[in-house]
Amino acid sequence: MKKPSVLIADDHDVSRDNLLALLSENGFNVRAVEDGRQAIDAFLGEKFDLVITDLKMPRVDGLQLLEFIKGVSAESVVIIVTGHGTVGTAVEAMKLGAFDYITKPLKDDLVILTVERALSFAKLKEENATLRSHLKKQYGFGKMIGYSDAMKKVFETIEKVASSDSTVIIYGESGTGKELVAKALHFNSDRSGFPMVAVNCGAIPEDLLESELFGHEKGAFTGATQSRVGRFELAAGGTIFLDEIAEMSPALQVKLLRVIQEKEFERIGGVRTISVDVRIIAATNQDLEKAVKERRFREDLFYRINVIPIHLPPLRDRKADIPILVNHFLSKFNKSKKKNLGGILPEAMAYMERYPWPGNVRELENLIEMLVVMKETGDIAAADLPTKILNGRGKENAVLPESIPDEGVDFNSLVTGFEKDLLLRALSKAGGAKKSAAKLLNLNRTTFVEKLKRLNIS
């Protein structure tokens, strides 16, 4: 193991040499200098695990040295050595971020003890920083964040497959983040220096799509007055993102299959075969297997495309992501709209967690943007939410059906949903005050609070 390195700054020869000897004997890698000026030079030239400095020194004193070090790297650990006359200054130094101070005459045991303590503190701090960066990774990828197990799995997959050239297909309802996943894959791959070109196969009319993808030569068809480079060529070296791939016509599906298999194609009306090195990422909000069964999508193409499937569940199936997304968008729009809204009150959050979000993350993002625009200051309360959110019911709190359907109903979840609904409405009407909310339901406060707890309403 590497010896911990210590920098000592003390203008007093005897005490400096004593300290140097003591720490060297105890297994530290020590460098000693005579004043703060030299200490700064040493500090800038090498990495030290710990700095021990005297307070009174010529040129640059201990306090100035401490300030300098903390300014350069706030994580640095500094111990102050002080004589009886300067204890007050040492206390001052602690306020500036010194780890501890030791008084002269130095007692060997105490010095070693303090140094050991400081070093383990530094190590702990470093471990925490690493842990935080791991956490960050787990909670997000690029601009995408998520907390649910489903999203953590998505992040893991992205990390694993980003740098491979395999074809990826992203499945998910509208607004679940398919395009974000495609971007994360591209920008975390070796292809990130090359273009990522997106084509929305559903938005471009069928007869234009072929030319969009593969380009055409001059005179290839009426109106082709000039030759044109297609998106596959534009994406050379990079990634092509084929959005809404299920919308592609059967004729184009054949051409795409060839590009995937042979990595080559011709422009419309062209004779020259063009080879491209492009990674394909596709996305769809449809069930492709069903489309294959219904013969709307070629089976051979399906197998070529469905190499690495990534499934983005709808937001209503990963409610654990809602609070983190809400806060993410709140701080995003606070920043971009120069607002300073505080946060989301618990009852408002409860409503948002309960709403089924048919438009998924996009709908949630739009709602938060609207709230930030509309509200001037303070916290977002239930009263700020649009009625569709207040009335919205997810599956688990469906209201009583008109009549019991043939397949039956789930008694427990219906009752729970009804209870939750009542509690939330009472809370909202009472402006969040539990006592008055309980009164509105003719419950005593303890029962009310117990129910909140049981139903996970915070």
Ligand X SMILES: Nc1ncnc2c1ncn2[C@@H]1O[C@H](COP(=O)(O)OP(=O)(O)OP(=O)(O)O)[C@@H](O)[C@H]1O
Point out which residues bind Mg ion (CB under 5 A). Answer: 179
Choose from ligand X, Mg ion, none: what does 361 bind? Cβ within 5-8 Å by kind: ligand X
Residues that bind ligand X (CB under 6 A): 143-146, 172, 174-180, 285, 361-362, 365
Which residue is nearest to ligand X, using beta carbons?
177
Least CB distance to Mg ion at residue 310 (A)? 13
Which partner from the list Mg ion, ligand X, none does 276 bind, CB cut-off 5 to 8 Å by kind? none
**Gap between the Cα atoms of 334 and 337, Å rounded:** 5
Q: How far is the CB of 242 from Mg ion (least distance, A)?
A: 11
Nearer to Mg ion among residue 179 and residue 212 (C-beta): 179
Residue 312, both tokens: 């983005």
The residue (of 179 and 384) whose beta carbon lies closer to Mg ion is 179
Min CB(67)–Mg ion separation in Å: 51
By a kind-dependent CB cut-off of 5 to 8 A, residue 213 interacts, out of ligand X, Mg ion, none, with none
* CB 178, min distance to Mg ion, A: 5
Binding-site partner at residue 174 among Mg ion, ligand X, none, CB < 5 to 8 Å by type:
ligand X
Interacting partner of 144 out of Mg ion, ligand X, none (Cβ under 5 to 8 A depending on kind)? ligand X
Residue nearest to Mg ion (CB): 179
Cβ atoms of 202 and 241 within 8 Å: the answer is: no
Choose the one of Mg ion, ligand X, none that binds residue 238, judging by a C-beta under 5 to 8 angstroms depending on kind: none
Closer Cβ to Mg ion, 179 or 233, answer by number? 179
Report the nearest approach of Mg ion to the CB of residue 296 (Å): 20
Output the CA angle 114-117-119, nearest 5 degrees: 110
The interface partner of residue 146, options being ligand X, Mg ion, none and the CB cut-off 5 to 8 Å by kind, is: ligand X
For ligand X, give the closer residue by CB, 78 or 349.
349
Strand partners, 344: 380
- Name the residue among 284, 50, 322 with its Cα closest to residue 170: 284
Please report how close the Cβ of residue 332 comes to ligand X at its closest, in angstroms: 9
Question: Closest CB to Mg ion among 179 and 266?
Answer: 179
CA distances (Å), 283 to each of 93, 102, 179, 377, in order? Answer: 58, 64, 8, 40
CB of 365 vs ligand X, minimal distance in Å: 5
Distance CA(363)–CA(29), nearest Å, equals 58
Nearer to ligand X, 324 or 398 (CB): 324
Nearer residue to ligand X within complex by CB, 28 or 357:
357
Residue 266: Cβ-neighbour burial (10 angstroms; 0-12, 13-18, 19+)? middle
